A and B are shown apart, each in its own frame.
Chain A
């Protein structure tokens, strides 16, 4: 007995600690707790243990709400829903990628609570917990933003996004790869082809620096460590030149300054909107100084400010392969055959992929995918457009939430009245009310760790109404004067187990349907059923077992 208590106590502490340190997983931890304590209350037959298991899960549920609060959908919290319409239907894998990318784009505003959900295969809903029109507008702009592609060869813009015929961009099938691991082919317009041929004439083996949204008016300030971060042998002497070289472009060069060799006092911004691109670390040191000199700071993440430097075997020099801080995403090398000055309309970008076997083919796929999206002028594989938004004012949402909570409590009260009329016994009524209340707390806590939307709230109310059913089955069986108490309980649980299984099974397909509007309803009814079967029914039976003896 003492043992059991110790185990339950230890588990409570364990789950509470988990919830405390990993807020992101608190909902899953609670479900885990539900299953763990449920298993214990099945294995251990003592009545006290079953009650303690219920108490334990209630305790960690309350703890979770106390520490992390509850999350509500924008219908309750107020906010704005922006439908994003896809140009063409997206297969599941592409849809996942789109949702991820849009999430990243939107969270660039520091809006961590942005929800991005796929609705069918042609729409994505973005939900922002804010009604601020200015903020919403900037989110909309970011969403519909199309990147500008510039391919720079030896300081001249050879390829521009508007020349690329996006319908012709496609991955090369394996038989055309000629030894490369991946390849993407595309065609350009006549004007584009002529411009390209002229620009790259005689530039065999030069890299084409492919930029998306290359800054037009900026400088880069970088430390030696940052510049050489991706090289094994430290900063080679010609690296600074390579960096400078990559950012050359007639009329809008981006000067690169190595921090160790630069006097900040000598830097002068070209205009009053010249950006200084640098890492957070460096900005902490010299940011104020730069701002004083008239620069606008543009902080790049650590991974972005560090260029990918590669040794070019053909020229024997170090060259920049990728440098996200300035939008440089890839640097394929010009094959001599297209540098003769004769226009060519079809191009291929191909390359090798690191790794072996499965890993290699995944890397190759990713590389091709990335080039495809660069050529299409954006990270999204399917073009999108932003539909008209819906705003739910925060006070209205709050009103809805308050009323819903009142409704939840009212449902509980009404059911209690009903049960007391039916049984007229305080020692039956009290446990039923207590257990239903615990179930409500647990469900709110679990669902609140994810998000409670309208359907989820309706599901919790439904779960309370249906959840009390099993307690009625137990009570009625126990009140029968046939057989021993244990037999009667077995009878009751046979019915309950069948009921719960069938109820869960009937709801399960909805859970996996992707119909996000009503998934909350499926989750709360399924969780309600499981919770009842695993924890609250055994606990209830443990409390009321005695009525059989009356």
Chain B
């Protein structure tokens, strides 16, 4: 039988989670953002022969693509993932598109004014010049031979401009695949490009979700406990858990993507689960608080371990299929669940026990 770790000087237990949190805080600044949040292109190849990942990534780099190549053996054959960071081109194309959209309406209006009022001619000329500059820059990016000055009308210009944006957007993949073709043979490939605008949008949404989730959790926890210290302890437990998970992600090189973000949110809920179990049993129950703490630890550990088992299965599954969504959810959830063991039973339990013994006059 495991001895009750809360007998004796339990306060030393906080050392372990505190160390973990400090280590995590040290690593968190190195957390990588995945394609979803950073923008870029993710290409997945179903390989039919072996691939030298390092050679491919070097070749890509010499062609101006900052790429991370990973090769996986999966249950359904070999698979390679090429993750290419946002190129300056794509970012510029997005920027140009925004500028163009803003300007073209104005130029069209000015063109209409000049028909009836000659005093607009100068302004119209200037703005049109500016618009042509933007369009020509986009045509250059797309590698097209055409010039904005040659377009018969603004409508045609608009059409060709959006086409050339698409050329840049698709060329990203096309040019990467050209390099890939020199290194790999594959039966199928899929690609996903997240434009800078879209990744910004994802980041904003994610921030909003985290904020809402945090505020709601805080409100509900305070509502349930109605006392300051236990509520703070519960929230501190959840917060440390997320910190440890983020630290582990950074340490193991797991990027933050939409699926891993979802897993983090689930961790908030899960971590609060064990924290609440513990806090309710210590604060609201009769009997020796230390016994109660230890009892809850037994229950809580079983809970955590079943969850760990489920996510381990998902992790194994992700290794067989190499489905990125599975991998990202499972690995982050596992890191957080392990972190939760320490954060809950080392930090949260100690705080709540200390509070209980102090308020009930000690033992």
Question: A residues touching B (Cβ–Cβ < 8 Å)?
Answer: 75, 83, 85, 87-89, 119-123, 146, 161-162, 164-168, 187-190, 193, 343, 345-346, 383, 385-388, 390-393, 396, 399-400, 403-404, 406-407, 410-411, 414-415, 418-419, 422, 454-455, 457-458, 461-462, 464-466, 468-469, 472-473, 476, 480, 482, 491, 494-495, 498-499, 501-510, 513-515, 517-518, 521-522, 525, 529
Q: Beyond the given A167-B108, A346-B116, A507-B265, could you list 14 further A-B residue pairs with CB under 8 A, ordered by the A residue number?
A: A187-B115, A189-B153, A189-B154, A345-B112, A383-B158, A407-B316, A455-B329, A458-B330, A462-B311, A476-B299, A503-B269, A506-B266, A513-B205, A513-B209
Contact A521-B276, Cβ < 8 Å, known A190-B115, A476-B295, A509-B208: no
Q: Render B258-276 as a binary contact track against A, CB cut-off 8 A, 1 for contact.
A: 1101110110111011001
Contact A411 B313 (CB under 8 A): yes
Residues in B neighbouring A411, C-beta threshold 8 A: 309-310, 313-314
Report the bound CA distance from A411 to B312 in whole Å. 8
Question: B residues touching A (Cβ–Cβ < 8 Å)?
Answer: 36, 46, 75-76, 97-98, 101, 104-109, 111-112, 115-116, 153-156, 158-159, 162-163, 165-166, 169-170, 173, 188, 190-193, 195, 197-198, 201-202, 205-206, 208-210, 212-213, 216-217, 220-221, 224, 258-259, 261-263, 265-266, 268-270, 272-273, 276-277, 280-281, 285, 287, 295, 298-299, 302-303, 305-314, 316-317, 320-321, 323, 325-326, 329-330, 333
Residues in A neighbouring B313, C-beta threshold 8 A: 407, 410-411, 414, 461
Contact A525 B266 (CB under 8 A): yes
Residues in A neighbouring B165, C-beta threshold 8 A: 85, 385
Residues in B neighbouring A122, C-beta threshold 8 A: 195, 197-198, 201
**Closest chain B residue, CB of each to CB of A458:** B329
Residues in A neighbouring B287, C-beta threshold 8 A: 482
Contact B209 A403 (CB under 8 A): no
Report the bound CA distance from A305 to B116 in whole Å. 42
Report the bound CA distance from A513 to B192 in whole Å. 21
Return the contact of A508 from the options B115, B154, B216, B310 (Cβ within 8 A). Answer: B216
Return the contact of A168 from the options B112, B159, B308 (Cβ within 8 A). Answer: B112
Report the bound CA distance from A387 to B200 in whole Å. 19
Residues in A neighbouring B97, C-beta threshold 8 A: 87-88
Contact B216 A505 (CB under 8 A): yes
Report the bound CA distance from A501 to B281 in whole Å. 18
Report the bound CA distance from A120 to B198 in whole Å. 6
Residues in A neighbouring B115, C-beta threshold 8 A: 187, 190, 193, 343, 345
Report the bound CA distance from A167 to B157 in whole Å. 12
Return the contact of A166 from the options B108, B213, B258, B270 (Cβ within 8 A). Answer: B108
**Closest chain A residue, CB of each to CB of B262:** A518
Report the bound CA distance from A225 to B303 in whole Å. 71
**Closest chain B residue, CB of each to CB of A499:** B273
Residues in A neighbouring B76, C-beta threshold 8 A: 396, 399-400
Return the contact of B112 from the options A123, A346, A499, A517 (Cβ within 8 A). Answer: A346
Contact A465 B311 (CB under 8 A): yes
Residues in B neighbouring A165, C-beta threshold 8 A: 108-109, 111-112, 154-155
Return the contact of B155 from the options A87, A162, A466 (Cβ within 8 A). Answer: A162
Contact B259 A455 (CB under 8 A): yes
Report the bound CA distance from A400 to B317 in whole Å. 9
Contact B266 A472 (CB under 8 A): no
**Closest chain A residue, CB of each to CB of B161:** A87
Residues in B neighbouring A458, C-beta threshold 8 A: 259, 314, 325-326, 329-330
Return the contact of B46 from the options A167, A396, A464, A502 (Cβ within 8 A). Answer: A396
Residues in B neighbouring A404, C-beta threshold 8 A: 317, 321
- Which interface residue of A189, A393, A410, A505 has the most chain B CB atoms within 10 A? A505
- Which interface residue of A400, A422, A480 has the most chain B CB atoms within 10 A? A400
Report the bound CA distance from A411 to B270 in whole Å. 18
Return the contact of B266 from the options A119, A462, A495, A501 (Cβ within 8 A). Answer: A462
- Which interface residue of B112, B156, B190 has the most chain A CB atoms within 10 A? B112
Residues in A neighbouring B46, C-beta threshold 8 A: 396
Distance (Å) between the CB of B341 and the closest chain A CB? Answer: 14
**Closest chain A residue, CB of each to CB of B217:** A506
Report the bound CA distance from A263 to B173 in whole Å. 58
Contact A521 B280 (CB under 8 A): no
Contact B201 A121 (CB under 8 A): yes
Contact B333 A462 (CB under 8 A): yes
Residues in A neighbouring B158, C-beta threshold 8 A: 166-167, 383
Contact A87-B259, Cβ < 8 Å, known A495-B280, A499-B277: no
Contact A168 B265 (CB under 8 A): no
Residues in B neighbouring A510, C-beta threshold 8 A: 209, 213, 262, 265
Cβ contacts A to B, 22 pairs, < 8 Å? A85-B195, A120-B198, A162-B153, A167-B109, A189-B154, A388-B169, A400-B323, A403-B320, A407-B313, A462-B311, A465-B308, A465-B310, A499-B273, A501-B224, A504-B269, A506-B213, A509-B210, A509-B213, A513-B205, A515-B202, A515-B206, A522-B265
Contact A466 B307 (CB under 8 A): yes
Contact A498 B306 (CB under 8 A): no
Report the bound CA distance from A83 to B312 in whole Å. 33
Report the bound CA distance from A392 to B323 in whole Å. 12
Residues in A neighbouring B163, C-beta threshold 8 A: 385
Return the contact of A415 from the options B208, B306, B326 (Cβ within 8 A). Answer: B306
Report the bound CA distance from A390 to B281 in whole Å. 52
Report the bound CA distance from A469 to B36 in whole Å. 32
Residues in A neighbouring B310, C-beta threshold 8 A: 411, 414-415, 461-462, 464-466
Residues in A neighbouring B205, C-beta threshold 8 A: 120, 513-515
Contact A418-B309, Cβ < 8 Å, known A387-B169, A518-B262: yes
Distance (Å) between the CB of B6 and the closest chain A CB? Answer: 17
Distance (Å) between the CB of B338 and the closest chain A CB? Answer: 14
Report the bound CA distance from A515 to B197 in whole Å. 15
Report the bound CA distance from A499 to B306 in whole Å. 16
Residues in B neighbouring A386, C-beta threshold 8 A: 166
- Which interface residue of A166, A509, A529 has the most chain B CB atoms within 10 A? A509
Contact B309 A499 (CB under 8 A): no
Return the contact of A167 from the options B36, B105, B170, B193 (Cβ within 8 A). Answer: B105
Give the 4 A-B CB pairs with smallest separation, nearest first.
A465-B310, A187-B112, A503-B269, A167-B108
Contact A383 B162 (CB under 8 A): yes
Contact B259 A465 (CB under 8 A): no
Contact A494-B280, Cβ < 8 Å, known A414-B309, A503-B270, A506-B216: yes
Contact B212 A388 (CB under 8 A): no
Contact A507 B266 (CB under 8 A): yes
Residues in B neighbouring A465, C-beta threshold 8 A: 306-311
Contact A503-B316, Cβ < 8 Å, known A187-B108, A515-B258: no
Return the contact of B191 from the options A385, A390, A518, A521 (Cβ within 8 A). Answer: A390
**Closest chain A residue, CB of each to CB of B108:** A167
Contact A168 B277 (CB under 8 A): no
Residues in B neighbouring A472, C-beta threshold 8 A: 299, 302-303, 306
Residues in B neighbouring A392, C-beta threshold 8 A: 190
Report the bound CA distance from A400 to B217 in whole Å. 35
Contact A495-B261, Cβ < 8 Å, known A187-B109, A386-B166, A502-B220: no
Contact A418 B305 (CB under 8 A): yes
Report the bound CA distance from A509 to B265 in whole Å. 10
Report the bound CA distance from A63 to B57 in whole Å. 52
Report the bound CA distance from A491 to B285 in whole Å. 9
Return the contact of A507 from the options B192, B206, B259, B269 (Cβ within 8 A). Answer: B269
Contact A521-B259, Cβ < 8 Å, known A415-B310, A502-B273: yes
Contact B306 A387 (CB under 8 A): no
Contact A509 B299 (CB under 8 A): no
- Which interface residue of A414, A418, A465, A468 has the most chain B CB atoms within 10 A? A465
Contact B298 A476 (CB under 8 A): yes
Report the bound CA distance from A415 to B306 in whole Å. 6
Residues in B neighbouring A193, C-beta threshold 8 A: 115
Residues in A neighbouring B190, C-beta threshold 8 A: 390-392
